[in-house]
Amino acid sequence: MKLERSQKLFEEAQQYLPGGVDSPVRAFKAVGGTPIFIVRGKGSKIHDEDGNEFIDYVCSWGPLILGHSHPQVVKALKKAVEQGTSFGASTELEVRLAKLISKAFPSMEMLRFVNSGTEATMSALRLARAFTRRDKIIKFDGGYHGHSDGLLTKGGSGLATLGIPDSPGVPLSYTQNTLVAPYNNIGDVKQLFERYPGEIAAVIVEPVAANMGVVLPEHGFLGGLRQLTRDSGALLIFDEVITGFRVAYGGAQSLYNVTPDLTCLGKIIGGGLPVGAYGGGRKLMEMMAPVGPVYQAGTLSGNPLAMTAGIETLNVLGQPGVYSKLEEKTSKLEDGIAKVASEAGVRLRTSRIASLLTAFFTGTPVTDYDSAKKSDTALFSRFFTHLLAEGVYWPPSQFEAAFVSLAHSDEDIKRTVEAIGNALKAV
Ligand code: HOZ
């Protein structure tokens, strides 16, 4: 595969952008080789600067659940762009998207739009601390909630990819109120509540962990968190930035039937444009300025282009049969991976919910970050490189999720399984 243009651009990019990228996982550091520079995407495919075509399983890390450049989204965006790109003032679009979200997530009676998942989780925690008048929070080892200071400890995603446990530049005082427990371990969470009675403001959790690879909550884990938080006057925050509108229209909370106090969303609700949101019950949300005293603001929040892409995306997702189609496609992919892995004699375990999937290169069950880390990352790197050469763009880290979109055809899945089979034989 020719990668001359990407190579040249990557060299040039490194002169101006640290590591040549604007987000670390894009740099292929965990897998080696040259990051591809993308020119365009259509449906399930992306095309790079050298004219290579790839079946895309990154899908912009989730938002492109309809695939790239979905005609309905593009048409609406073209119209919206002509009306103006940003006003720093309210539009009807914000009300329309908020209504759609609130209907899908009844726990979000009110919400506030922001520009990223990072902003959503950071703001939700501020609100939780203000509401409870407590400072400490609990997060989970390998959970990733964006890069705000207080959450940059024992994180997944790029931190896991690069093996960075805690980032320098974060004062100790910012993280000393962040308590960390292993995912799926309700006993340890209970112990933290016992150790710090009346001090914990909130538990923040990805209801399905998706930044240490996909790790499903074990039976009783989410319900246990709900019970512990309720009993101790703390809030439960679901970070559904990845799972929201992905694992089901109503997110993981609808699938697992556990209602959080606050929900953070991102990705899909902007249809590929920068967006995030946090929301919860009216009483809680009315603590936000200008109604209440908790401050949070943003010039581009509720941006008309992001709102437009979000509305169109949710309108398509709200049609009957969409989630069963996604389920069907992804289960075919998962079954295919299991089959070719066994044929190739490679120890590999898939972990999947709906159209979110990770293939862990390990023979032991993955239930938390420690078990995810048992994966053979060197083997994963070789797998990734072979797969790329076969025309499949898989997430460039063992600790990320692969995303299947509605645009992935049966032929794409078939070709992908063949390519994975070839890659597994080669490694
Ligand atoms: N795990 C991240 C998405 N939640 C990867 C994207 C990024 O950090 O650039």
Per CATH, the number for 71-317 is 3.40.640.10
Q: How far is the CA of 210 from the centre of ligand 1 (A)?
A: 10
Domains of the chain by residue range: 4-69+322-426, 71-317
Verify whether ligand 1 is closer than 6 Å to residue 364 (CB atom). no
Global pTM reads: 0.97
The dihedral through the CA atoms of 131, 133, 139, 143 has a sign that is: positive
Mean pLDDT across 405-414:
98
Mean pLDDT across 115-127:
98
- pLDDT, position 168: 84
CA dihedral 98, 101, 103, 107 (to 10 degrees): -100
Verify whether ligand 1 is closer than 6 Å to residue 143 (CB atom). no
Please name which of 114, 67, 60 lies closest in space to residue 312, comparing C-alpha atoms.
67
Tell me the average pLDDT of the chain: 96
Q: Which protein residue's CA is at the shortest distance from atom 1 of ligand 1?
A: 157
Q: How far is the CA of 157 from the centre of ligand 1 (A)?
A: 6
- pLDDT, position 221: 98
Output 158 or 419, whichever has higher pLDDT: 419
Verify whether ligand 1 is closer than 6 Å to residue 400 (CB atom). yes
- pLDDT, position 165: 65
Mean pLDDT across 362-368:
96
Per-residue pLDDT of 168-186, as tens digits, reads: 888 888 888 999 999 999 9
Verify whether ligand 1 is closer than 6 Å to residue 270 (CB atom). no
- pLDDT, position 153: 80
Percent of the chain at pLDDT exceeding 90: 93
Per-residue pLDDT of 26-46, as tens digits, reads: 999 999 999 999 999 999 999
Per-residue pLDDT of 201-239, as tens digits, reads: 999 999 999 999 999 999 999 999 999 999 999 999 999
**What DSSP designation does 45 have?**
E
Per CATH, the number for 4-69+322-426 is 3.90.1150.10
Q: Which protein residue's CA is at the shortest distance from atom 2 of ligand 1?
A: 157
Per-residue pLDDT of 286-312, as tens digits, reads: 999 999 999 999 999 999 999 999 999
- pLDDT, position 164: 67
Q: 133: how many CB neighbours lie within 10 A of its CB?
A: 9
The position carrying tokens 């997430």 is: 395
Q: 320: how many CB neighbours lie within 10 A of its CB?
A: 6
Verify whether ligand 1 is closer than 6 Å to residue 239 (CB atom). no
Q: Which protein residue's CA is at the shortest distance from atom 9 of ligand 1?
A: 23
